Amino acid sequence: MINQEEENKELGRRYRALLRVSKTVDKKEDKIKIRKAFDVAIEAHKDMRRKSGEPYVYHPIEVARIVSEEIGLGTTSIVCALLHDTVEDTEMTLDDIERMFGLKERKIIDGLTKISGVVDHSVSMQAENFRKILLTLSDDVRVILIKLADRLHNMRTLDAMRRDKQLKIASETIFLYAPLAHRLGLYALKTELEDLSLKYTDPEIYTEITNKLQKSKAVRTRFVNQFSLPIKNELKEQGFNFSVKARTKSVYSIYNKIKTKNVKYEEIYDVFAIRVILDTPPEKEKSICWNTYSIVTDFYQPNPDRLRDWVSTPKGNGYESLHTTVMSPGGKWVEVQIRSKRMDEIAEKGYAAHWKYKEGSEESKFDNWIDKIRELLENPDLNAVDFIDDFKLNLFSEEIFIFTPTGEIKNLPKGASALDFAFEIHTEVGYHCMGAKVNHKLVPLSTGLNSGDQVEIITSKKQKPNESWLEYVISGKAKSKIKSALKENKRRLAKEGKLGFEKWLKKHKINNTDHNIKQLLSFFRLPSLYEMHYQFEVGKLKLNKIAELKIEGGLILRKETEHKPKDDFIEQLKKKGTKEEMLVIGENMDHFEYKISPCCNPIPGDEVFGFITIKEGIKIHKTNCPNAVQLMSNYAYRVVKARWTSQQQIAFLAGIKITGIDDVGLVNNVTRVISEELNVNMRSISFDSQDGVFEGIVMLYVHDTKHLRHLKAKLKLIKGVINVSRIDG
């Protein structure tokens, strides 16, 4: 039963809370505008409910709150956030918005409406739709900021969704929205989006890390207080205005480190960092940050390899800070971040904070980034998935700074080559790049660059891009330009090949008809006439094989082909359900033929999904497979539900990694426990010992995850074994 009175009270509370956090709203007319938008939203959504059962209007109110409190935007954005779903979901039109609020609001809501049809909860966002989102970015960045707030609130309330939808939305969030928040400098938003995504894609690991962080919280707090005491005293002594806080590494960052560095939680030394925030006028920021650095290093020994100076050269997303890692009295490395209040606000709130400080150089950095996106968007040759891949290259990349011969600085992604740099200067310079001089030394195109290198590009009019260039570059701009040039070149060759091919047909008395062309395409196994013309021109067609064809009166006679089954993919795959089947697939949970994907080797008990491949039928992946995020984000329409049913005594291949202290008979003990005590069959076993430490990889057959957990627990009890973990692939 809906309690209208209670809901009205709740709306009043939420309205007051919104005004309370809207620090930028102080004029009376702004408050009137927000109240009007609030009332319009309530009226427009009055009959709508969310999946959780609460009134739908709570959602736009919460989005407005995130926009104001967590991103720091002003009245226009708050109004647009309150109304962001009205044109999409209710009777209201853009004309109504313009009449009631103004042209600026109309444009932003138009941008949001264009993309909200694209990104609804039920379907995951495909690459083509993401391109549309970015088109609106170049009009008004507030569209994207409100969209990010909308996504954050959806992620916070994802519990009410079905499991398969949770997975699709979480994958899409980690694949695109989190990198976008990162690139816009919204650190706090990016972190929460990543953590919430992990909560749904890998709930077990998320809970495990969260619990460990919770348990060690008191110890951390004590350590931070002791560690920062001498620094605080000295800063006070010198008359600085400052605050010190501890920043704990996010759950997702810890998970990433465990995965990429292959370490245990206990081995991660930078679970937290100490942040010193100085209240100082902009003109003194740099000197005061370095002054603080010298105070920190007076008390604690720094690691010279771990100094990061983003105060002198800020990151491309505007991040400024001085990072150093020092040794604490307890023998632990601790990261100390030193920054001004302005830098801290920009690091947390990104470009919304930049506007507040209105510094020309920062504005232009952001404009440069948007210009790069625009350039990618305007490349008509890139298909949408290529576009996403190239775009993501520019999103998450760490940066290096390269100098031109005249001393100008260019930002490039870490790992960029001399060829990337050539394209960064100008597309034409890239196309005709022959080599480069790095720090006055001649080097090949593929040479990787380091921060601080000075690079001069050598060009030649005769030089043209070729396929191998794609292996030398990592920046989105260079990749997309090279692909364009290669396509253009292929078009030209195919055009020339067409004339030659038609002459060849005449010579062999073959009529140029649709029937004959189809026969030749099938004979040479080619997808299109365009491809045939191109391969003819570059000499790849095996023309002497023509003798195998039967030609009468200019007509190629059809070969008897095998009868192909119906094209309906699902019908081909469907087979009679048998009792031995362990996996059910699709909305109706039917039995289909499937293959286990080798990239993650799922076994019964793992949470899985099916992916319809083009040539190999349905492949089963774990939901936390390294490739899952990309598959669910780019090809959601090919993802099908799957789950294990009754566990039969069928064995599945799984891999485990064992590390420990080398001991006489240790390998013998490991194999004895596996084969004798637990009756598990091994497919392969390899052990490697170095300086008293051994590492073993065992591939064995288990029934399900429970069976595997039991096996791991038994192996951990063996004397000398330190860690046992499951490996994918």
Position with higher pLDDT, 568 vs 153: 153
State whether 177 and 306 are in the same domain.
no
Segment 482-508 mean pLDDT: 88
State whether 313 and 245 are in the same domain.
yes
The pLDDT, as a whole number, for residue 141 is: 72
Tell me which residue of 101, 104, 38 sits closest to 68, measured CA to CA.
38
Task: Tell me if 319 is assigned to some domain.
Answer: yes
The pLDDT, as a whole number, for residue 353 is: 57
Segment 253-269 mean pLDDT: 82
State whether 128 and 252 are in the same domain.
no
Question: How large a percentage of the chain has pLDDT more than 90?
Answer: 17
Is the pLDDT at 16 greater than 80? The verdict is yes
Least confident interval from 4-8, 72-76, 624-628, 677-681 = 677-681
The pLDDT, as a whole number, for residue 695 is: 85
Which pair of structure tokens corresponds to residue 300? 């604690």
Task: Tell me if 399 is assigned to some domain.
Answer: no
The residue out of 644, 679, 711 marking a domain boundary is: 644
Domain of 696, CATH number, reads: 3.30.70.260
Task: Tell me if 418 is assigned to some domain.
Answer: no
State whether 42 and 170 are in the same domain.
yes
Position with higher pLDDT, 129 vs 20: 20
The pLDDT, as a whole number, for residue 477 is: 85
Which pair of structure tokens corresponds to residue 562? 């095998």
Polymer length of the chain: 729
The residue out of 357, 386, 408 marking a domain boundary is: 357
State whether 344 and 246 are in the same domain.
yes
Domain of 338, CATH number, reads: 3.30.460.10
Task: Tell me if 439 is assigned to some domain.
Answer: no
| CA Rg value for the chain | 30
The pLDDT, as a whole number, for residue 373 is: 59
The pLDDT, as a whole number, for residue 256 is: 87
Measure the CA–CA gap between 289 and 311, rounded to whole angstroms. Answer: 8
Task: Tell me if 62 is assigned to some domain.
Answer: yes
Measure the CA–CA gap between 510 and 659, rounded to whole angstroms. Answer: 68
The percent helix, strand, coil of the chain (3-state, each to 5) is 50, 20, 30
Which pair of structure tokens corresponds to residue 253? 């960052």
Is the pLDDT at 579 greater than 70? The verdict is no
Average pLDDT value over all residues in the chain:
80
The pLDDT, as a whole number, for residue 624 is: 83
Contacts of 722 (CB under 8 A, 6+ apart): 659, 660, 661
Tens-place pLDDT, residues 295-335: 999 999 998 888 899 898 887 767 889 999 999 887 888 89
pLDDT band with cut points at 50, 70 and 90 for residue 278 = very high
Least confident interval from 127-136, 150-159, 632-641 = 127-136
Q: How many domains does the chain have?
A: 5
State whether 697 and 576 are in the same domain.
no
Tens-place pLDDT, residues 174-226: 887 888 888 777 788 899 999 999 999 889 899 999 999 999 888 888 988 99
Position with higher pLDDT, 387 vs 160: 160
Segment 249-275 mean pLDDT: 84
The residue out of 526, 556, 586 marking a domain boundary is: 556
The pLDDT, as a whole number, for residue 396 is: 52
State whether 625 and 662 are in the same domain.
no
Least confident interval from 321-330, 439-448, 492-501, 645-654 = 645-654
pLDDT band with cut points at 50, 70 and 90 for residue 387 = low
The pLDDT, as a whole number, for residue 509 is: 84
Task: Tell me if 77 is assigned to some domain.
Answer: yes
Show the domain range for 676: 652-727
State whether 23 and 150 are in the same domain.
yes
The DSSP secondary-structure symbol of 184 reads T
State whether 227 and 332 are in the same domain.
yes
Task: Tell me if 206 is assigned to some domain.
Answer: no
Measure the CA–CA gap between 459 and 481, rounded to whole angstroms. Answer: 17
State whether 151 and 84 are in the same domain.
yes
Segment 550-554 mean pLDDT: 81
Distances (CA, A) of 314 to 321, 339, 343, 486, 557: 8, 12, 10, 35, 69
The pLDDT, as a whole number, for residue 692 is: 72
Measure the CA–CA gap between 555 and 511, rounded to whole angstroms. Answer: 6
Tens-place pLDDT, residues 135-169: 655 566 778 888 889 999 999 999 888 888 888 88
Tell me which residue of 120, 111, 134, 119 sits closest to 390, measured CA to CA.
134
Q: State the catalytic residues.
A: 88-89
- Answer positive or negative: Cα dihedral of 190, 195, 200, 202: positive
Is residue 542 within 8 A of residue 504, CB to CB? The reply is no
Q: Which strands, in side-by-side order, build the sheet including 433-438?
A: 441-443, 433-438, 455-459
The pLDDT, as a whole number, for residue 196 is: 95
The pLDDT, as a whole number, for residue 475 is: 85
Is residue 652 within 8 A of residue 703, CB to CB? The reply is yes
Task: Tell me if 469 is assigned to some domain.
Answer: no
Contacts of 300 (CB under 8 A, 6+ apart): 326, 327, 328, 334
Residue 167 belongs to what H/E stretch? Answer: helix 163-172
Which pair of structure tokens corresponds to residue 458? 């050598």
State whether 541 and 575 are in the same domain.
no
pLDDT band with cut points at 50, 70 and 90 for residue 123 = very low
Segment 485-493 mean pLDDT: 88
Measure the CA–CA gap between 161 and 123, rounded to whole angstroms. Answer: 12
Which pair of structure tokens corresponds to residue 425? 């200067």
Tens-place pLDDT, residues 420-462: 999 999 999 999 998 899 888 888 888 899 887 889 999 888 8
State whether 292 and 159 are in the same domain.
no
Classify residue 118 as exposed, middle or buried by CB count within 10 Å of its CB (0-12, 13-18, 19+). Answer: middle
